[in-house]
Amino acid sequence: MKFSESCRIEYVGFVEEVEQRAKVEAFCEKVYWSSPSNSFLSMAVCRNDGLYDFSLRISSNVGCFTSTAKSKDLDRALNILGRKIDMELSHWKHHRFQSEPIKPVSA
């Protein structure tokens, strides 16, 4: 499945600029290629009172991975979101061949 068919990005509360859209799409593509096979990414990008509020969900046949981040700076918000989702995915990769179900990192 192609990345473009496996990702939905919704912008709420503002009209994204070309540069913002490019950064968010590049971030999603990077996350997509680190995700389990046949995953679907859904991201909401909200902007309210100058604050970016990101919500990311990766749905796959092995489970769901979620992360959120907030910052006044788009790059910082993406960096925070990236670190959080990387922790979730690293945990899954480390434990994926164990016989017991994987528990989310946040549990």
pLDDT tens-digit profile of 23-43?
A: 999 999 999 999 999 999 999
Cα–Cα distance measured from residue 91 to residue 69, given in angstroms and rounded to the nearest whole number: 19
> What's phi and psi for 39, nearest 5 deg?
-80, 160
Query: Quick one: 3-95 is in which CATH superfamily?
Result: Ribosome hibernation promotion factor-like (3.30.160.100)
Average pLDDT over residues 7-19: 89
Q: Categorize the per-residue pLDDT at 3 as very low, low, confident or very high, splitting at 50, 70 and 90.
A: low
- Global confidence as pTM: 0.82
Rg of the chain over CA atoms, in angstroms? 14
Q: What is the pLDDT of residue 98?
A: 73
> What's phi and psi for 35, nearest 5 deg?
-85, 165
CA dihedral 91, 95, 99, 103 (to 10 degrees): -10
